[in-house]
Amino acid sequence: MGVLRKAQDEGKPAGRVPAIDLGATFTDLRQEILAAVERVLASGRYIGGPEVERLEREFAAFCDVPHAVAVSSGTDALRFALIAAGAGGGPRDEVITSPLTFIATTEAISQAGARTVFVDVDPESLTLDPGLVRKAITDRTAAIVPIHLYGQTADMGPILEMARPRALAVVEDACQAHGALYRGGAAGAGRSAGSLGDAGCFSFYPTKNLGGCGEGGMLTTARAEIAARARSLRDHGQSEKYIHAEEGYNGRLDALQAAILRVKLKRLSGWNARRRALAALYTERFKEMGLAGTALRLPVEKPWGTHVYHLYTVRVPIDVRDRVRAELLEKEIETGIHYPIPLHLQACYASLGLREGSFPVAERAAREVLSLPLFPEMTDAQVERVCEALRVVLGRG
């Protein structure tokens, strides 16, 4: 595979391995980004305008959806999608989601006027377990929010099948899954994350697979009325200037971010391919080292899709995870934990009355997961260094 061996491998010291290197992305795209920034600054159009409209069209094409609405964050995309899909405020106000996600998902549910109903995740993919979703559906359920965690879509087929006859909205949290496919890979072309449910929600937070140089987000949908409502909500509920049919939010994307994101969007497919190649190299090396097993559980690529590896997240036994992480840091290898405390155990959700033991799969994952460095500019030599360090550190146990 051509992308496995990059020219960059030459001449870079295999020293510190950061979790991500945003400076390297800028260095690679410096000319184009500076030209885009200059163009916007000279245009005098700083909020909305042609750059934002072009990004919307280009991102809609990327996801193969009719509508894309640029907003100021992934959180706003989720909030507007849930409001537009009618999840809050009515007699049906329960929204089913996973506790193993970033809190933005459930903040958006609450802020849309709905109530979060957590269900546990599949032990391999750590995405919503469709069987448990089915059991959690009541006549108060308004929507389901699957999280495409770490860059792999949730198992959308069964979720959509149970949602459709009950008229439940499905809002995809695709904030980690720009370009991920469902029913992709060998099975065929697949459909993009964000084009599967009633709406898809993306974040352009700098560390995401497509990230700006600030905050940003996008809502994708095939439903014209959801797109129209989101356009109104992001702009103070305005249909025309100073005409307000409803109250909205200040949730627009700025033109500088849009222009920068347009430069980066052209690279996204190549970056995702590189992420997949790096993930494959990690997996291959760990297997060769004989490490893959109970001491080191590798990410599972489900047959239902194409993973875009926002994160390469392994699992190590609970009693060694924090030691492993600390010793890797001593070797100047940065790792992350996504996420250390499942949301149902957070103080802000104490009123839900859930406790340790409520969602054993998510709870266990929270104590075992470890995200290794992964970013498109990472070299093969850096992957080798992480693998070697992990072998040494695990061997000490």
Ligand X SMILES: *Cc1c(COP(=O)(O)O)cnc(C)c1O
Binders of ligand X among residues 150 to 189 (CB under 6 A) are 173, 175-176
Q: Please work out the total of residues on this chain that contact ligand X, with binding judged by CB under 6 A.
A: 14
User: CA nearest 372: which of 275, 290, 271?
Assistant: 275
Instruction: Identify the CA nearest to 97 among candidates 115, 74, 76.
Output: 115
Residue from 203, 209, 221, 335 in contact with ligand X (CB under 6 A): 203
Q: Taking contact as CB under 6 A, which single stretch among the options 73-81, 188-196, 224-232, 314-322 is the one that binds ligand X?
A: 73-81
**According to the binding rule CB under 6 A, does residue 109 interact with ligand X?**
no
User: If phi over 0 gives left and psi between -120 and 50 gives alpha, with beta otherwise, what is residue 236?
Assistant: left
- Report, in Å, the least distance between residue 117 CB and ligand X: 17
Distance CA 299, CA 124 (A): 8
**Applying CB under 6 A, which of residues 51, 62, 70, 74 lies at the interface with ligand X?**
74
Residues whose CB falls within 8 Å of the CB of residue 141, separated by 6 or more in sequence, listed in order = 92, 94, 95, 96, 117, 166, 168
Considering only 25, 73, 127, 220, the residue that binds ligand X (CB under 6 A) is 73
Between 133 and 387, CB nearer to ligand X:
133
Cα-flanking dihedrals φ and ψ of residue 359, to 5°?
-135, 80
By CB under 6 A, residue 75 contacts ligand X = yes
Closest contact distance (angstroms) between CB of 226 and ligand X is 18
Site membership for ligand X, residue 101 (CB under 6 A): yes
Helix axes 318-330, 360-368, angle to 10 degrees: 30
Q: Does 116 bind ligand X (CB under 6 A)?
A: no
The residue within the footprint of ligand X, chosen from 150, 205, 271, 312 (CB under 6 A), is: 205
Contact status: 104 vs ligand X (CB under 6 A): yes
CA distance 89 to 12: 55
| Maximum Cα interatomic distance, the chain, rounded to a whole number of Å | 67
Residue 312 touches ligand X, criterion: CB under 6 A:
no
Rounded to a whole number of angstroms, the minimum distance from the CB of residue 257 to ligand X is: 11
Q: Which of 331, 305, 318 is nearest to 370 (CA)?
A: 318
What is the C-alpha separation between 314 and 150, in angstroms, rounded?
A: 11
* Closer residue to ligand X, CB minimum distance, 108 or 160: 108
Which residues of this protein are in contact with ligand X, per CB under 6 A? 73-75, 101-102, 104-105, 147, 173, 175-176, 203, 205, 217
